[in-house]
């Protein structure tokens, strides 16, 4: 790098020619994969909760919360740890 060059990255502006060619190379909407956030949106809320992995441990979680001061839950993302445990506590 020479003394006159800046070490800061150069950001493209929307009217830059190189930006236009990059933008034109993007896939169209019909070529992009659709991400489904909730594959079970057609089920009612209670049926959706029952399909979460944490649901089958509901009674065990309640038992542990009644008998121990601390409970550490470990599970995969999307298993219902942060949404369903508070819901279980409110309902019970």
In a domain, 6, yes or no: no
In a domain, 38, yes or no: yes
In a domain, 9, yes or no: no
When divided into structural domains, the chain yields a total of 1
CA distance 28 to 5: 37
- The model's pTM is 0.53
In a domain, 2, yes or no: no
In a domain, 10, yes or no: no
Contact predicate 80/55, CB 8 Å: yes
CA distance 85 to 61: 8
Q: Which domain holds residue 67?
A: 17-91
pLDDT in tens, 34-47: 666 777 888 998 89
pLDDT in tens, 53-68: 999 999 999 999 999 9
């Amino acid at each position: 790098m020479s003394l006159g060059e800046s070490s800061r990255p150069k950001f493209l502006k929307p009217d830059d020619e190189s930006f236009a060619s990059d933008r034109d190379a993007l896939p169209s909407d019909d070529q992009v994969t659709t991400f489904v956030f909730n594959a079970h949106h057609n089920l009612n809320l209670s049926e959706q909760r029952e399909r979460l992995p944490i649901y089958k441990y509901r009674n065990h979680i309640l038992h542990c919360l009644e008998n121990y001061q601390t409970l550490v839950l470990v599970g995969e993302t999307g298993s219902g740890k942060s949404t369903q445990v508070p819901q279980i506590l409110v309902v019970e």
